Amino acid sequence: MSSIRDYPERWEVVGSQEHFRGRIIRVRSDQVRMPGSDGPETVVRDVIDHPGSVGVLALDGADRVLLIRQYRHAPGYMLWEAPAGLRDVQGEPTWKTAERELLEEAGYRAARWHTLVDTFTSPGMSDERKRIFLARDLTEAPAEPGFQREHEEADMPVEWVPLDEAVAKVLAGDIHNPTAVVGILAASAARAGGFRDLRAPDAPEG
């Protein structure tokens, strides 16, 4: 069995300065002591603190992927995405967060949930951790009473795309959203293996 596996480690931080604290993220600079052949060296690393997020790759009985289109201001694009959201409810299991996002953003519930893939979205500068779930056995469902989409989410059309076509669109550069890209490719690989190696929705995060 291959020994290649990510594992947690924390090098010594000898100083830290916060530059920005916003509604969702915090930006700081850490002074990190780096090991080296000539002795330790201290360097500065900028870090974005993020609460984490979840994504949902919803796959129906015809092997079609659910995608939603959403405006993203930072890159200035309308992107086709998988439903996703922040881990912003204290103590809520991640798959329950994903369940809520699938309902609120796309209007669907799923009877079968599995952990599909875990990622750090941009580990060179952010600690954001994202877990993407595979949701199957889908049914349309109304949103919770009183819930109303607003801002970028007010107009998010839903499209069902055959999984093979979605893979082709990823490789052609037509789909850019990282949750959609990773989820689509992981779902294709999982299907090729008969979905045998999928983890439980509450599998521990390494």
Cα Rg of the chain (Å, integer): 19
Q: What is the overall mean pLDDT for the chain?
A: 93
pLDDT value, residue 152:
53
33 and 57 housed in the same domain: no
The separation between CA 36 and the C-alpha centre of its own chain, rounded to angstroms, equals 34
Each residue's pLDDT tens digit, 5-57: 999 999 999 999 999 999 999 999 999 999 876 777 899 999 999 999 999 99
142 and 58 housed in the same domain: yes
Q: Which residues pair with 14 in a beta bridge?
A: none
Q: Cα separation of 69 and 64, whole Å?
A: 16
What is the mean predicted confidence (pLDDT) over 120-148?
A: 89
21 and 103 housed in the same domain: no
Q: What is the DSSP letter of 205?
A: P
Residue 199 is assigned to a structural domain of this protein? no
Helix/strand/coil for 94: helix
Residue 70 is assigned to a structural domain of this protein? yes
What is the mean predicted confidence (pLDDT) over 177-186?
A: 98
Residue 33 is assigned to a structural domain of this protein? yes
Give start and end residues of each alpha helix (H) in 61-177. Answer: 94-106, 163-172
Q: Which residues pair with 133 in a beta bridge?
A: 56, 115
143 band by pLDDT with thresholds 50, 70 and 90:
low
28 and 95 housed in the same domain: no
pLDDT value, residue 37:
64
Residue 35 is assigned to a structural domain of this protein? yes
Tokens 């509450």: give the residue.
Answer: 202
Q: Name the pTM for this structure.
A: 0.91
Share of the chain above pLDDT 90, in %: 86
Residue 8 is assigned to a structural domain of this protein? no
Helix/strand/coil for 92: coil
Q: And the tokens for 106?
A: 């796309």
pLDDT at 153 over 70: no
Q: Which of 2-6, 122-126, 139-143, 152-156 is least confident?
A: 152-156
- Active-site hit among 128, 144, 153, 159: 153
pLDDT at 149 over 60: no
Backbone φ, ψ for residue 190 (5° rounding): -65, -40
* Catalytic status, residue 153: yes
Dihedral angle computed from the Cα positions of residues 73, 121, 87 and 142, in that order, rounded to the nearest 10 degrees: 60
83 and 146 housed in the same domain: yes
Q: Cα separation of 13 and 48, whole Å?
A: 15
72 and 165 housed in the same domain: yes
Please report, for the chain, how many H helices and E strands are present, in that order: 3, 10
Residue pair 198/114 in contact (Cβ under 8 Å)? The answer is: yes
Output 143 or 46, whichever has higher pLDDT.
46
146 band by pLDDT with thresholds 50, 70 and 90:
low
Residue 7 is assigned to a structural domain of this protein? no
Residue 203 is assigned to a structural domain of this protein? no
Backbone φ, ψ for residue 130 (5° rounding): -125, 130
Residue pair 63/76 in contact (Cβ under 8 Å)? The answer is: no
**Where does residue 199 rank: exposed (0-12), middle (13-18), buried (19+ CB within 10 A)?**
middle
Each residue's pLDDT tens digit, 52-101: 999 999 999 999 999 999 999 999 999 999 999 999 999 999 999 999 99
- Name the residue range of residue 71's domain: 53-192
Each residue's pLDDT tens digit, 101-117: 999 999 999 999 999 99
